[in-house]
Amino acid sequence: MSEGRRIGVTGATGRMGQAVRDAAEERGLTVAFAVNRDADPQLENVEPARRFETLLTETEPDAIIDFTGPESAVEYVTLAAEAGVPIVTGTTGFDDEQRAALEAAGEESPVLLGANFARGVQALIDAVTAAVGSLSEYDIELTETHHNGKRDAPSGTASLILDRIDEARGEPAARVHGREGEAPREAGEIGVHARRAGDITGEHEVLLAGNRETLSLTHRAGSRSVFAEGALDAASWLVDQEPGFYRFAAIAAKLSETDQ
Ligand SMILES: NC(=O)C1=CN([C@@H]2O[C@H](COP(=O)(O)OP(=O)(O)OC[C@H]3O[C@@H](n4cnc5c(N)ncnc54)[C@H](OP(=O)(O)O)[C@@H]3O)[C@@H](O)[C@H]2O)C=CC1
Ligand SMILES: O=C(O)C1=N[C@H](C(=O)O)C[C@H](O)C1
């Protein structure tokens, strides 16, 4: 997002909300408002979530960036769309109904969803798709590792990668979440493993194994600023778009050509 633009931030005191505000400040953007569910009245510049609608009208931001939880993200996306303000959400863990609500909001105003705003993850997905295409008979296991505060599992990124593998294979694979007891591997299934530990920012590994070789493709995020920068780039692109429901994966390549 370019200097001088004004953004609203939801989930502002969360891990990502804080990273977005820091990245915005570094770029010379103005945070028009910041809200959090239970904002501490002692905290400067963060208001309680119930003031969201009022702040939308009062501060007229160019775009909103949301990293909260599925229920609240749907609420913010719906309200922003009604007000005609473009909104980027990086929240993960949506169910089908919530996803449909996000898509419906896109009919009124630009809405962009991204399960992972790191450029390296987009490259990982491309590499995985290519590998699955040429190693079609190999077993696949996916492991994602995140900090101990993460709520949803598997990660939004893991689900995205699994969807792309299904597309590359031309059919949906059975997703086996962890294994316990007598659980021999069935042909074609994908084992999915979610680890939660310490303050790990986010790692995704796709393992492809044949009988005499393995290929391991891994992305590790070194800092949340990677996600925050990607979300700001997405917002910068979104403010010039017509109403619609957009996915980060579909525009990431355009951003890397222009903004980096
Ligand atoms: N797309 C991407 O690149 C990335 C996506 N994410 C996703 O972003 C989301 C947030 O992650 P993270 O920042 O680590 O989580 P945190 O729990 O650290 O932050 C979420 C924040 O949202 C606040 N919140 C919850 N409900 C509301 C509400 N109704 N109104 C306003 N604020 C609210 C929480 O407040 P309280 O603490 O009071 O509940 C908290 O401050 C997750 O879904 C995560 O998977 C994370 C990293 C990168
Ligand atoms: O909760 C996180 O931290 C992250 N969530 C996203 C996800 O669920 O894929 C992206 C990133 O891995 C960090």
Domains of the chain: 6-117+224-259 (3.40.50.720), 119-220 (3.30.360.10)
Which residues in 29-185 belong to E strands, given as ranges? 30-36, 47-48, 63-66, 87-89, 110-113, 139-146, 175-177
Would you say the CB of residue 70 lies under 6 angstroms from ligand 2? Answer: no
- Using the atom order of ligand 2, give the atom closest to the CA of residue 117: 10
Q: Note the pLDDT of residue 62.
A: 97
The packing angle between helices 70-82 and 52-59, to 10°, is 40
Per-residue pLDDT of the chain (260 residues; tens, 9 = 90+): 767 799 999 999 999 999 999 999 999 999 999 999 988 777 778 999 999 999 999 999 999 999 999 999 999 999 999 999 999 999 999 999 999 999 999 999 999 999 999 999 999 999 999 999 999 999 999 999 999 999 999 999 999 999 999 999 999 999 999 999 999 999 999 999 999 999 999 999 999 999 999 999 999 999 999 999 999 999 999 999 999 999 999 999 888 655 54
Q: Note the pLDDT of residue 119.
A: 94
Q: Is 101 annotated as a binding residue?
A: no
Q: Ligand 2: which residue has its CA nearest to atom 4?
A: 202
Would you say the CB of residue 92 lies under 6 angstroms from ligand 2? Answer: yes
Would you say the CB of residue 124 lies under 6 angstroms from ligand 2? Answer: no
Q: Note the pLDDT of residue 40.
A: 78
Q: Note the pLDDT of residue 38.
A: 84
Q: Is 91 annotated as a binding residue?
A: yes
Does 146 participate in catalysis according to the annotation?
A: yes
Would you say the CB of residue 196 lies under 6 angstroms from ligand 2? Answer: no
Residues 130-159: b if buried by 16+ CB within 10 A, e if exposed: ebbeeeeebbbbbbbbbeeebebbbbbbbb
Q: Note the pLDDT of residue 258.
A: 53
Query: Cα–Cα distance between 43 and 23 in angstroms, integer?
Result: 19
How many residues are given for the chain?
Answer: 260
Q: Is 94 annotated as a binding residue?
A: no
Q: Which long-range contacts (CB under 8 A, 24 or more apart) does 96-105 make?
A: 98/70, 98/71, 98/73, 98/74, 101/74, 101/77, 102/73, 102/74, 102/77, 102/245, 103/245, 105/77, 105/78, 105/80, 105/81, 105/245
